[in-house]
Amino acid sequence: MLMLQLHLPTLLVASTAVIGLCGLLLIFSWSQGRHERALLWTGAMMLLAALGLLLNAMRGGSFDWVPIILGNIVLLLCIAMNWSVMRVFCGRPPSYPWVCAGAACWALLCLWPTFYTSLPARVAVHTLIASLYLLAALVELWRAQGRLEVSVVPIAVLICLHLVFLLSRLFLGPSTTNHGDVQSNPLFTLVLIESMLYAVGVAFMVLSMVKERAEKQFRQAAYSDELTGVGNRRAFFEAGERLLSLCRRQRRPVALLSFDLDHFKAINDELGHQEGDRVLKAFACGVAQNLRRSDVFGRIGGEEFACLIDGSGTDALALAERIRVGFSALAPRGREQSVSIGLMEVKEGSYDLQYLLNLADKALYQAKRHGRNRVEIYQGDAGDSAGGAEVR
């Protein structure tokens, strides 16, 4: 076999150096921003793995307790930290007692002479503890997959393969494990190579997931309004142009609603900007609850919002009335709170978003001039006439 021709001490040094270097680089990456603690935990795990490999290679002398007890304690801590990496990445705090539980069990069992002198027993217990930690890591990923912003399938597959390899050692016998004399163990090379590939694979995938999540968060921050959480002007125009293009191709009607909160400057001046922020967030939340997934909504500036509806003007008018009435109902007792709305419907003709927004704004200004707290429908430039439904 090719692996029998490899020089084991050289392979051991190379594996330890590669894993240790990966650990240092991950800790360095974490130190640049100190936001993603998963990188710190993965780096510490890699350094422990390198130390564990070195300790487990110290066989054949009068200090066999070093690899058997200390070496395996370090490796079990390393596997436990693998589970903690998944917890931290999924937004959960590490559980330090459970991280140390496996290593503590190993240390206590090694005080029992029958266990200490039995290689099959040590192999079985070590494999069982490591497998439980790997299963716990898979459970963490499965529980969090719905709310994570990245795919966890690649790292889950890697953990499963490592778990299968660990369990296979029970069926192949103790000779395939790293608990015997390194120099006389022909298959220790396989264990060493698999451990190195797994450690490097986990490091790469964690770094990749952290990078992917950071990119999505930056992209979301660039396209969302920081205060209300809805799309900002840039997001509204980009998503709106896509919806308009689709409606143009399929010759479907589309309607645009332009919103402006009434007397918003007075709210800021009299009650403070904190109350003004609360009103903005309440309005955005109320609108979002009334929209369909296909509708495009965003804050385009100050107290101004816009919504593009994939539907007819009748649908848009009904939606606008629900929003207007619902927002007025949110006002604290003794205070008025209202919104003026301009509506522009397109059945055929121009599907230019900026042009449609300008026309919807004209209807909005009509609503302001006619007393606010109403919906006005744009009906053309002749005299800037508009029809609407006034609420008394």
* Residues classed as catalytic: 303
Amino acid found at 158? L
- Residue whose entry in the numeric block shows the structure tokens 């990456």: 29
- How far is 209 from 116, CA to CA, in rounded Å? 40
SS3 of residue 335 by DSSP? coil
Parallel, antiparallel, or unpaired: how do β-strands 254-261 and 296-301 relate? Answer: unpaired
Beta strands in the chain (DSSP E): 254-261, 296-301, 304-309, 339-346, 374-378, 386-390
Task: Give bridge partners of residue 340 from the DSSP assignment.
Answer: 260
- How far is 319 from 326, CA to CA, in rounded Å? 11
Residue closest to 139 by CA, chosen among 80, 86, 208, 202: 86
Question: What does the block give as tokens for 362?
Answer: 């004209």
- How far is 49 from 350, CA to CA, in rounded Å? 64
Residues 6 or more apart from 248 whose CB is under 8 A from it? 351
Q: For residue 50, report the phi and psi dihedrals to the nearest 5 degrees.
A: -65, -45
Question: What does the block give as tokens for 141?
Answer: 């990923």
- How far is 172 from 170, CA to CA, in rounded Å? 6
Question: What does the block give as tokens for 85?
Answer: 């990496």
* Contact between residue 357 and residue 258 where contact means Cβ atoms under 8 Å apart: yes
DSSP type of residue 224:
B
